[in-house]
A and B are shown apart, each in its own frame.
Chain A
Amino acid sequence: DAGVIQSPRHEVTEMGQEVTLRCKPISGHDYLFWYRQTMMRGLELLIYFNNNVPIDDSGMPEDRFSAKMPNASFSTLKIQPSEPRDSAVYFCASSSSLGLAGGMGTQYFGPGTRLTVL
């Protein structure tokens, strides 16, 4: 089975540019989570979706951040405009509420996107 897929794996951009991160969850999973990881703040939950609907976006740092999930197999996290302090590793994770793939609401993570904003 394919795990969670994220693209790109690395992104280097200049301040002010738009950045779009992509995620494909595990097939059959109905929850999708976006996290950000930095040395200073650790692992932070930004937003999560259930059945493609955003449930909690309280972790989104600013209006510059937006996330969408147009269908069950695709989600994007967009930063516009990007700033140097957005540099981090961004993870996407998915889980199932139906006991599939291990149950317990276990979250399975993608490989992450390392974002560097110059």
Chain B
Amino acid sequence: AQTVTQSQPEMSVQEAETVTLSCTYDTSESDYYLFWYKQPPSRQMILVIRQEAYKQQNATENRFSVNFQKAAKSFSLKISDSQLGDAAMYFCAYRVNRDDKIIFGKGTRLHILP
């Protein structure tokens, strides 16, 4: 079964510091995509960053970057210069290319300390 594991239910980071959220997934597929979504208190699910498995270069979006380790099936999210607006639940997700559905992890709640 395809699963996505986020081992940190909650994390805290000081404003302006860097934090890394971990994610591992289990699959036997080779063609897939990985995503990080953010869900702030407003409840809106917002795409943060995504990565194609065939690309070795790690994706970056401004202060957000990923560390994709395909052999280890790891897809961590790094947030640099943390801001108060980054406080949210973060979901790691995964989609096999031959499937329509996205598999979501349970989420990591990130607190930003002023």
Q: Is the CB of A42 within 8 A of B106?
A: yes
Q: Which of B11-19, B21-29, B68-76, B95-103 contacts the other chain?
A: B95-103
Please report the number of residue pairs spanning A and B whose Cβ atoms sit closer than 8 angstroms: 46
State which residues 83-107 of B face A: CB under 8 Å: 91, 95, 97, 100-102, 104, 106-107
Closest Cβ–Cβ distance, residue A105 to chain B (whole Å): 5
Q: Is the CB of A111 within 8 A of B43?
A: yes
A12, CB-defined interface residue at 8 Å: no
Give A111 to B107 CA distance when docked, in angstroms. Answer: 18
Closest Cβ–Cβ distance, residue B103 to chain A (whole Å): 9
A118, CB-defined interface residue at 8 Å: no
Q: Tell me the interface secondary structure of chain A in the complex.
A: strand
Chain B interface size, under 10 / 10 to 19 / 20 to 34 / 35 or more: 20 to 34
Give A114 to B42 CA distance when docked, in angstroms. Answer: 11
B45, CB-defined interface residue at 8 Å: yes
A107, CB-defined interface residue at 8 Å: yes
Q: Is the CB of B91 within 8 A of A43?
A: yes
Q: Is the CB of A56 within 8 A of B45?
A: no
| Interface residue ranges, B against A (CB under 8 Å) | 33, 35, 37, 42-47, 50, 52, 91, 95, 97, 100-102, 104, 106-107
| Interface residue ranges, A against B (CB under 8 Å) | 31, 33, 42-43, 45, 48, 50, 55-56, 89, 91, 93, 102, 104-109, 111-112, 114
Give me the 5 closest cross-chain CB pairs, A-B, nearest first: A109-B45, A104-B33, A112-B43, A43-B104, A111-B44
Could you name 29 residue pairs across A and B whose Cβ atoms are closer than 8 Å?
A31-B100, A33-B101, A42-B106, A48-B100, A48-B101, A50-B100, A56-B100, A56-B101, A89-B43, A93-B45, A102-B50, A104-B35, A104-B52, A105-B97, A105-B100, A105-B102, A106-B47, A106-B50, A108-B47, A109-B37, A109-B44, A109-B45, A109-B46, A111-B42, A111-B43, A111-B44, A112-B43, A112-B45, A114-B43
